[in-house]
Amino acid sequence: MRIKIVGTGRALPAQCVTSRSLDERLGFDQGRLEAATGVVERYVCDTESQVDLACAAARLALADAGSEPNAVDLVIGGCAVPYQPLPSTAPLVMQRLGLADGSAAAFDVNSTCLGFLTAFETAARMIEAGQCQMALVFSSEVASRALPWTDQPEIAALFGDGAAAAVLRKAVPGEGEISANLMRTYPSAYEACGIGAGGTRFDFHRQPEEFSRNALFQMDGKELFRVTSRHFNGFVDELLQRAGWRHEDVGLIVPHQASPFALAHMARQTGFAAEKLVDISARYGNQIAASIPFALDIARKQGRVMPGTKVLFLGTSAGVSFGGMALEA
């Protein structure tokens, strides 16, 4: 698919929370959470909403693209956790950006931490099919909510809030392309990571205790590590084969920022040089679906994504799924 990223942007809440301040708040020895997670600091919403962050990132992406909001005819939200169950988040972002009623399509997709890649691919296919001309894709996360600080503080301390967006249009010959997309899912590990309440699984009125007990995020890190160690290398090999790329062709890897330790393990496991990875996890934490586009925007602003650069997006998500995209910039 001949698709070009013409603009990106990112947004953060104002409040920065260090791991050492969390140690003090929770009564831990200084340095405990930083040593356990590798995360030095993260940003946490206080007065900002998820939609505020999404719109701020979207406006910056549009400015970077040199486009006005009314040039967009497709808005796709790829958030792991929505603003509310119904309606989806994208129509509200469309409204807040000032797009007129009926001027665009707006909807959400959800593949948890891989939400941005799924939204990106969906937008690209719609552009390729001639259903739209310019797409705005965003991921915005308030990951600091519903965390298990009592039972799993080392898990809770991994996460931070943030948003990022990208503007896409059809590329002309020589401007680059999406060489391959791939997702593979291992539902045997479905229960290893998630939030059980909030949908139809638990009835708030009939099962209040179960609803409350399952309202916090839970993660079995050992099970996720087992699945990743067993299957991720083969997944990356298949993605590269579909793209027609050799291992050494990859110029930059934009991964999901699961944790600093997870990224170091990914580099060792796949054999990619650590300097090829965009690693921002120690300063921003795991921003769930926003982490890939957030890292992408940083890499673009640093000049690491040049015309012709072969960029590999890689990530894992609850479910459990592996996802990736091979993009020639």
Known active-site residue 193: no
Is 233 known to be catalytic? Answer: no
Strand bridging mode 74-77 / 134-141? parallel
Burial 156-195 (b: 16+ CB within 10 A, else e): bbbbbbbbbbbbbbbbeeebbbbbbbbbeebeebeebbeb
d(CA 329, CA 310): 6
Q: Is 265 a catalytic residue?
A: no
Residue with tokens 């009592």: 150
User: Per DSSP, what are the bridge partners of residue 134?
Assistant: 169
CB 89 within 8 A of CB 50: yes
Residue 95, number of CB atoms within 10 A of its CB = 15
Q: Is the dihedral of CA 75, 51, 162, 33 positive or negative?
A: negative
Please tell me what DSSP assigns to residue 29: P
CA distances from 304 to 16, 38, 252, 285, 292 (A): 26, 24, 8, 21, 15
Among 45, 113, 132, 193, the active-site one is 113
Residue 208: cis peptide before it, omega within 30 degrees of 0: no
Residue 34 half-sphere exposure, CB side, CA atoms within 13 Å? 16
Task: Indicate the SS3 state at residue 179.
Answer: strand
Q: What is the DSSP-derived secondary structure letter of residue 47?
A: S
- Residues with catalytic function: 113, 256, 286
